[in-house]
């Protein structure tokens, strides 16, 4: 409908643009002109005059094009410039740009022509096109999918963000934002279990009998073939070996046949990879065998056919009567084996066995060095370690006939098949007065450090770890860091392995509930300090409860830690595979705290700074809390210090960040 009438009261002040004025609507009286004018004058722009308009006489010699009437008789047209120094009469309302909307009393303006003509402080809520009614206290939010693109929304009093979880996150866990937009639980280095999980080792004819398998031990070759050595309670306690490997899909194990290597009762079992001959790995095994009332240590070679996993053994080499707890290690070229042990209560000895590598068959050991006795004491809880950097063998032990403290002895025998007294270094003490048992050792090739774990009888057999720099036989010293308690519960079955992929040591131990747990150890080589990662519990239940009922090795072909142990409840042997991974999260990248438990890949809602997370437990009201490196909360700050917030209830934390 065209504009037909303009009044001063029909439209609010300054509410219409120029385009809204109808044809023939604005007459002289409605124009704000600075003077009265007379017939024949024309309307002139005068910015300094009232209204900016003035009636002026026609210049007899005007500049530019002379304005002439075109003879138009239709009322309501207006004069416009055409941009070419000429003018014309027009009725195009779209050309109006500065109409005052308050003067429009009826009619419709073309769409989109109101702009600067809208008066300030004029548009209110009813003028806006909003998708919902809204309530007091809400704010106007852009929502492109809603009517008008505007929506009233509630103010979030507890700011949060939603993102997909990278791994499982528990309710109340501290999280960080990843570069890919996911959120991840903040945690210290942790071990995660990977397939294959625990499976019973299938002993062919003796599985699930009344006694089962004991003293299991294992080692792996570079080809991924492992030799498992055990005392078979269901076959007269004979020493038995069996080869195995992780299958191609990493969903289980492939086993070879059993081979009885000693038809006498055995214990103190050890196995160590030697070398590979024509594609077939060769292992050294040592043990103590009991014949009547006598017991002897023995050593033998076992070769595994890489295709069939069938085992072949060499001729057993028998040693001293009543020898207790012999341990072995390979060194140098891999054809020499150092064995140490001793008669109970008597001085311990060292012996070297040389493997004959020239034979096409399995080959045999021959003793090249008899018992050398540099000590006057019986040594117990022995662990032998070859240091590849200094090319020395380190012997860690507890000196039973002396002060019962931890000691180290150096043997500089690399490339030798014999030992003399000059090959031994001086005895070195360690452990800050601890009385160690169940000593295990490994070499950290990433940091060039020796690592030992043990239980301390002074503290109820709580497990300890120490890291040291081997200064060598010539100095007779190791620069140790401070001993760190792994856990405050009694432990046994403690084992230690260096993970070459993770490039960190991993300790496995049995807690006082007979549950196996794994911890990753992080070493700071600047001061030989060590931090202990969060425990991973074995998928199995109770396990064996003496130090000789388990063993551990690393399979480099599948990148798995392989663990064998005796089930304490069922008296059966189990094998377990664990892959270790290290989280990259750090507390210094704290985003906030998760509201509810989520699994990997699902949406997690994170309470941000200023929010109150209500998923905590056992907080002290009013206390300030910090996020530790492992993601837990503490009233004591870690380094770096990351403030979590303040507890306002036992379960509520106001997030600070």
Which domains are delineated in the chain? 124-155 (no CATH), 163-187+589-655 (no CATH), 192-580 (2.120.10.10)
**Residue 352 in contact with residue 418, Cβ under 8 Å?**
yes
* Whole-angstrom distance, CA of residue 66 vs CA of residue 60: 10
Q: What is the pLDDT of residue 546?
A: 42
Q: How far is CA 67 from CA 62, 195, 620, 634, in A?
A: 9, 94, 89, 88
| Token pair recorded at residue 413 | 């025998």
- Close Cβ partners of 243 (under 8 Å, ≥ 6 residues apart): 225, 226, 227, 228, 255, 256, 304, 309, 310, 311
Torsion of the alpha carbons at 40, 46, 49 and 53, rounded to the nearest 10: 50
Q: Counting beta carbons within 10 angstroms of the beta carbon of residue 50, is it exposed (0 to 12), middle (13 to 18) or buried (19 or more)?
A: exposed
Q: What is the pLDDT of residue 404?
A: 85
**Residue 317 in contact with residue 365, Cβ under 8 Å?**
yes
Q: What is the pLDDT of residue 15?
A: 66
Q: How far is CA 342 from CA 54, 322, 592, in A?
A: 124, 8, 58
Of 78, 80, 42, nearest to 60 by C-alpha is 42
Q: Give the chain's end-to-end CA distance (angstroms, integer).
A: 62
Could you tell me the mean pLDDT of each successive run of 10 residues in the chain, 657 residues long?
53 66 74 82 80 74 49 68 73 55 53 62 78 80 81 73 89 87 72 38 32 79 94 85 86 88 88 93 92 86 96 88 79 84 81 82 87 83 92 92 85 90 90 89 95 91 94 93 89 87 87 79 93 78 51 89 75 75 62 92 91 93 88 84 90 87
Q: What is the pLDDT of residue 189?
A: 42
Three-state DSSP state, 94: helix
Beta bridge partners of 54: 44
Q: What is the pLDDT of residue 61?
A: 47
| Token pair recorded at residue 42 | 């024309």
Q: What is the sign, positive or negative, of the torsion defined by CA atoms of 90, 91, 95, 98?
A: positive
**Residue 494 in contact with residue 440, Cβ under 8 Å?**
yes
Of 643, 617, 636, 623, nearest to 171 by C-alpha is 617
Residue 196 dihedral angles phi and psi, to the nearest 5° = -75, 145
* Whole-angstrom distance, CA of residue 42 vs CA of residue 50: 16
Q: How far is CA 80 from CA 19, 54, 88, 95, 96, in A?
A: 14, 17, 6, 9, 10
The DSSP call for residue 247 is -
* Whole-angstrom distance, CA of residue 194 vs CA of residue 184: 19
* Whole-angstrom distance, CA of residue 329 vs CA of residue 394: 10
Q: Which residue has the tokens 């269901």?
A: 234
- Close Cβ partners of 71 (under 8 Å, ≥ 6 residues apart): none
Q: How many residues are listed for the chain in this entry?
A: 657
Q: What is the sign, positive or negative, of the torsion defined by CA atoms of 650, 487, 554, 188?
A: positive
The DSSP call for residue 64 is S
- Close Cβ partners of 257 (under 8 Å, ≥ 6 residues apart): 204, 242, 309, 310, 311
- Is the pTM higher than 0.75? The answer reads no
């Amino acid at each position: 409908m065209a504009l037909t009438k303009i009044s001063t009261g029909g439209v609010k002040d300054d509410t219409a643009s120029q385009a809204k004025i109808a044809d023939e609507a604005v007459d002289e009286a409605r124009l704000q002109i600075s003077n009265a004018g007379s017939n024949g004058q024309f309307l002139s722009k005068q910015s300094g005059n009232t209204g900016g308009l003035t009636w002026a006489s026609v210049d007899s010699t005007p500049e530019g094009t002379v304005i002439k009437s075109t003879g138009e008789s239709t009322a309501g047209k207006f004069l416009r410039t055409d941009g070419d120094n000429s003018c014309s009469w027009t009725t195009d309302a779209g050309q109006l740009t500065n109409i005052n909307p308050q003067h429009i009393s009826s009619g419709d303006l073309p769409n989109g022509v109101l702009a600067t003509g809208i008066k300030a402080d004029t548009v209110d809520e009813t003028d806006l096109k909003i998708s919902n009614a809204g309530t007091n206290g809400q704010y106007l939010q852009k929502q492109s999918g809603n009517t008008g693109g505007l929506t009233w929304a509630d103010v979030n009093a507890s700011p949060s963000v939603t993102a997909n979880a990278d791994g499982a996150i528990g309710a109340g866990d501290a999280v960080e934002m990843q570069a890919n937009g996911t959120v991840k639980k903040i945690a210290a280095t942790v071990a995660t279990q990977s397939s294959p999980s625990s499976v019973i080792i299938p002993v062919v004819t003796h599985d699930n009998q009344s006694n089962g398998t004991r003293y299991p031990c294992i080692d792996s070759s570079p080809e991924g073939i492992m030799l498992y050595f055990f005392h078979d309670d269901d076959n007269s306690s004979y020493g038995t070996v069996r080869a195995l490997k992780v299958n191609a899909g990493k969903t289980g194990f492939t086993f070879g046949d059993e081979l009885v290597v000693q038809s006498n009762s055995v214990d103190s079992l050890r196995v160590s990879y030697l070398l590979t001959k024509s594609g077939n790995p060769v292992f050294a095994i040592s043990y103590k065998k009991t014949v009547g009332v006598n017991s002897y240590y023995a050593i033998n070679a076992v070769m595994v056919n890489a295709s069939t996993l069938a085992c072949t053994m060499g001729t057993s080499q028998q040693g001293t009567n009543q020898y207790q707890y012999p341990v072995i290690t390979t060194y140098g070229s891999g054809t020499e084996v150092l064995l140490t042990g001793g008669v109970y209560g008597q001085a311990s000895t060292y012996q070297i066995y040389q493997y004959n590598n020239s034979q096409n068959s399995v080959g045999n050991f021959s003793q090249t060095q008899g018992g050398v006795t540099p000590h006057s004491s019986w040594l117990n809880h022995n662990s032998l370690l070859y240091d590849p950097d200094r090319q020395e063998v380190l012997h860690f032990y507890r000196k039973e006939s002396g002060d019962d403290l931890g000691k180290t002895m150096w043997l500089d025998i690399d490339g030798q098949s014999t030992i003399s007294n000059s090959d031994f270094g001086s005895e070195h003490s360690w452990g800050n007065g601890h009385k160690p048992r169940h000593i295990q050792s490994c070499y950290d090739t990433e940091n060039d450090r020796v690592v030992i774990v043990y239980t301390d009888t002074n503290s109820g057999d709580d497990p300890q770890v120490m890291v040291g720099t081997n200064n060598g036989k010539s100095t007779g010293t190791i620069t140790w860091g401070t001993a760190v308690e792994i856990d405050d519960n009694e432990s046994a079955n403690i084992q230690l392995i260096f993970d070459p992929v993770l490039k960190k040591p991993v300790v496995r131990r049995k807690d006082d509930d007979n549950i196996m747990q794994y911890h990753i150890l992080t070493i700071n080589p600047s001061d030989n300090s060590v931090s202990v990662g969060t425990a991973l519990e074995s998928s199995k239940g109770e396990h064996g409860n003496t130090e000789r009922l388990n063993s551990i090795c690393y399979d480099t072909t599948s990148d798995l830690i392989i663990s064998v142990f005796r089930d304490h409840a069922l008296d059966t042997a189990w094998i377990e595979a664990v892959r270790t991974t290290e989280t990259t999260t750090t507390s210094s990248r704290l985003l906030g705290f998760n509201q509810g438990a989520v699994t990997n890949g699902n949406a997690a809602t994170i309470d941000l700074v200023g929010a109150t997370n209500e998923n905590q437990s056992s907080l002290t009201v009013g206390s300030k809390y910090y996020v530790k490196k492992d993601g837990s909360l503490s009233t004591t700050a870690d380094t770096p210090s990351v403030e979590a917030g303040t507890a306002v209830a036992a379960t509520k934390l106001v997030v600070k960040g």
